[in-house]
Structure 1
Amino acid sequence: MRLHRNLCFAVIDGLHKIFNENEYADKVVQQLLRRDKRWGSRDRGFIAETVYEIVRYKRLYAEIANVKEPFDRDNLWRMFAVWATLKGIKLPDWKYFETTPTRKIKGRFDELSKTRKYKESIPDWIDDLGIEELGESAWAKEIEMQNEQADVILRVNTLKTNKKDLQLKLQSENIETEVIPNYPSALKLIERANVFKTEAFKNGWFEVQDASSQLVADFLDVKPGMKVVDACAGAGGKTLHLASLMENKGQIIAMDIYESKLKKLKIRARRNGVHNIELKVIDSTKPIKKLYGKADRLLIDAPCSGLGVLRRNPDAKWKLQPEFIENIKKVQSEVLEKYSKMVKPGGKMVYATCSVLPSENQDQVEKFLTSEAGKDFKFVKDKKILAHKSGFDGFYMAQLEKNK
């Protein structure tokens, strides 16, 4: 493989923004890919995959390159040289690579790979937390899996098409997919491709949504005609899934504290042909109180550490701080306490997170059930999904029912 100067410069610029300006990797990569219209899919793939790979293994590559944060551009080129050397890519005779100790890099890699915090490239405190909550064996497998590149999974929009027709449509656009057993609405891309440019996407035939995430709407047990509240809707991936399960019948109230996210949901709903969603910004306690005792179903897709989705957001492990975890647990408890009041007697609620930590998951549910707010609820079932067991994102979901 030959390195092209303009593509490498794009990677370095992206890493500078992510590591030194604290920008989000997915946003930075999107900006980089728009930089030059002449770049083909291979060029764009190189930029995206290289940026994510170096972000994923920042601690390991920085240690091998013997550089410390904040990284200046020379430091970033050294880390890039480590990445390229470990990939077996011949370094061109550019000034940035003049002093690269190629032989030492491989030896250093072998040496550091004996220690998990370097091998899997994670902060000490996250490693300690993972061991404490999941145990040594499960955590070792989980964090290794969280460094694998995630598959691209589509969710078929059954309001507009079915799995077979979507497969044929994508095939006509040179995109091959395969069915995933036990995931009724999911298709997996056999090779990565930009699905957002397809006619099928523009026509609202599918959304990109991980297989684990697709289980949440199913878990809520909705029926057409119900009044359903999605209390932390965000940009609405699960809201849209609920709408298709309800066959566009009944009412979904999609709520979030961020109006900007609900605006994105509005655009997505239009493309999906969904028209039973009402959007509500949570700008005070009023919108919640108005719905006390009204919801047949309530989804609380709670804010969390995101430690189940590091494969998709590798920069999150560098942005996370121990105090954030403690604060988010308080938020989860408050959200459960306040939002659960929207469920009517006999109604059901699902509490979900994209975390693998029991302290954010089953511990929160147990705490809620023994609280004043949770005394009218009973535990029905839950599902704990670890990435190393499922092959998909780490997730948790618990279904609770309110007494009649």
Structure 2
Amino acid sequence: MRLHRNLVFAVIDGLHQIFNEEKYADKVVQKLLKRDKRWGSRDRGFVAETTYEIVRWKRLYTEIAEVKAPFSRENLWRLFAVWATLRGIALPDWKQIEPTPQRRIKGKFDELQRTRKFRESIPDWLDALGEKELGTLWTEEIAALNEQAPVILRVNTLQSDLKKVKGLLFDEDILTEAIPGLPNALQLKERANVFSTEAFKNGYFEVQDASSQMVAGYLDVQPGQRVVDTCAGAGGKSLHLAALMENKGQIIAMDIYENKLKELKRRAKRAGAHNMETRPIHSNKDIKKLYNKADRVLIDAPCSGLGVLRRNPDAKWKMTPEFLIEVKKVQQDILQNYSKMVKDEGNLVYATCSILPSENQEQVKTFLKSEAGSEFTLIKDKKILCSKTGQDGFYMALLKRKTK
């Protein structure tokens, strides 16, 4: 592989923003890809994938390069040199690249492979927590979460069907395959920019991981019902609910962030989802208005996001033990409060994209022992581990409200 100066400079600039200015990797990469209109898909692929790779392996690479935060430009170039050396890429004779001791880099890499926290490039506290909560499973799970995630699409049945979308993408040289057990899911055989396709612009599909696609179905919605998605965000699951309800009934998509709901409105328009209303949560009054009014309630709770580290590798550097303590309190508060929206005999799904039992099964157990939770019965739950399925780590629990 021949390295191109403008592409490598873009990667270095991106790393500076992510590591030193604490910006989110996905937002930084999105912006970088618009830097030069002359870049082709291969150029953009190099910038995105190299940036994400160095973010993912930050701890391992900084140990090998013997650099510490905050990172100077020279430090960032050293990290890049480690990345290139470990991939067998010849380094060009540029003034930014110091003489690189290739044998020492490879030797240090081999030595660090013996220790999990370096091998899997994670903070000490996270390694200890993973082992405490998952035991021996942690070793294979964190390894799986360091692999690149596949691109999965959910066909929007309000506008199209699987066969048609598969054919339209094939016409644009994008090959896909169906996923057993998920009737409206397609996995890309090779990474491609699906957002520029006509099928995407026409609202025929959304990008949504296989695990995430299971959540809406778990709620068992029916056309004509009133369904509340309480932590809707930009609405991937709300849009899926609209399709499952065949645009009949009402979906109330709620969130504390209004900007995310604006994005959902835009997406709903493209998807042809007409049975949706967005409501920002300004105070508890907005929740109380819906007490005992919903047939179905989805709580896709805020969480550590450990199950989706493949997609957001910078999360492991931004997360703190204090954040985790706080988010667990928020999860329980939401469960206690939002569950009151469910009518008698109605369903509630509590879901997270975490693999930690303390955010998942333990939260449900705590809820069921509480006054609000005593009105519910746990019907079933499902935990999805990336190491076992190749899908994002997820948890979902279906609870039914008893008749008074």
Q: TM-score, normalised on structure 2?
A: 0.99
Which residue identity is paired with 1:356? I
Report the alpha carbon displacement of residue 98 of structure 1 after superposing the two structures with TM.
3.0
SS in 2 for 1:334: helix
User: What are the within-5 Å matches in structure 2 for residues 308-319 of structure 1?
Assistant: 308-319=307-318
* Conserved 8 A contact 1:78-1:96: no
Which residue identity is paired with 1:78? R
User: What are the within-5 Å matches in structure 2 for residues 4-403 of structure 1?
Assistant: 4-135=4-135, 137-403=136-402
SS in 1 for 2:79: helix
In structure 2, C-alpha distance between the alignment counterparts of 1:211 and 1:99, rounded to whole Å: 45
In structure 2, C-alpha distance between the alignment counterparts of 1:66 and 1:257, rounded to whole Å: 42
In structure 1, C-alpha distance between the alignment counterparts of 2:14 and 2:149, rounded to whole Å: 20
Q: Deviations over 1:210-269 (max 9, x none)?
A: 000000000000000000000000000000000000000000000000000000000000
In structure 2, C-alpha distance between the alignment counterparts of 1:2 and 1:50, rounded to whole Å: 14
Which residue identity is paired with 2:36? D
In structure 1, C-alpha distance between the alignment counterparts of 2:194 and 2:98, rounded to whole Å: 40
Which residue identity is paired with 1:206? F
Q: Deviations over 1:110-148 (max 9, x none)?
A: 00111110010000000000000000x210001000000
SS in 1 for 2:261: helix
Corresponding residue of 2:2 = 2
* Conserved 8 A contact 1:195-1:201: yes
In structure 2, C-alpha distance between the alignment counterparts of 1:198 and 1:66, rounded to whole Å: 44
In structure 2, C-alpha distance between the alignment counterparts of 1:391 and 1:72, rounded to whole Å: 37
* Conserved 8 A contact 1:308-1:355: yes
In structure 1, C-alpha distance between the alignment counterparts of 2:349 and 2:4, rounded to whole Å: 49
Between 91-100 and 235-244, report the one with greater CA deviation: 91-100
Report the alpha carbon displacement of residue 96 of structure 1 after superposing the two structures with TM.
2.4
In structure 2, C-alpha distance between the alignment counterparts of 1:248 and 1:204, rounded to whole Å: 14
Which residue identity is paired with 1:10? A
* Conserved 8 A contact 1:18-1:25: yes
- Percent identity of equivalent pairs: 71
SS in 2 for 1:270: helix
In structure 1, C-alpha distance between the alignment counterparts of 2:93 and 2:265, rounded to whole Å: 51
Which residue identity is paired with 1:305? S
Report the alpha carbon displacement of residue 100 of structure 1 after superposing the two structures with TM.
1.2
Q: Deviations over 1:169-199 (max 9, x none)?
A: 1111111100010112110000100000000
SS in 2 for 1:381: strand
SS in 2 for 1:233: coil
SS in 1 for 2:317: helix
Which residue identity is paired with 1:117? K
Q: Deviations over 1:344-380 (max 9, x none)?
A: 0000100000000000000000000000111110010
Which residue identity is paired with 2:28? V
Structure 2 unaligned residues grouped into runs of 5+: none
In structure 2, C-alpha distance between the alignment counterparts of 1:374 and 1:59, rounded to whole Å: 42
In structure 1, C-alpha distance between the alignment counterparts of 2:389 and 2:353, rounded to whole Å: 14
SS in 1 for 2:154: strand
Between 49-58 and 278-287, report the one with greater CA deviation: 278-287
SS in 2 for 1:97: coil
Which residue identity is paired with 2:374? K
* Conserved 8 A contact 1:236-1:262: yes
Report the alpha carbon displacement of residue 99 of structure 1 after superposing the two structures with TM.
2.3
Moved over 4 A (4+): none
State the aligned residue count.
403
In structure 2, C-alpha distance between the alignment counterparts of 1:266 and 1:19, rounded to whole Å: 33
In structure 2, C-alpha distance between the alignment counterparts of 1:59 and 1:86, rounded to whole Å: 15
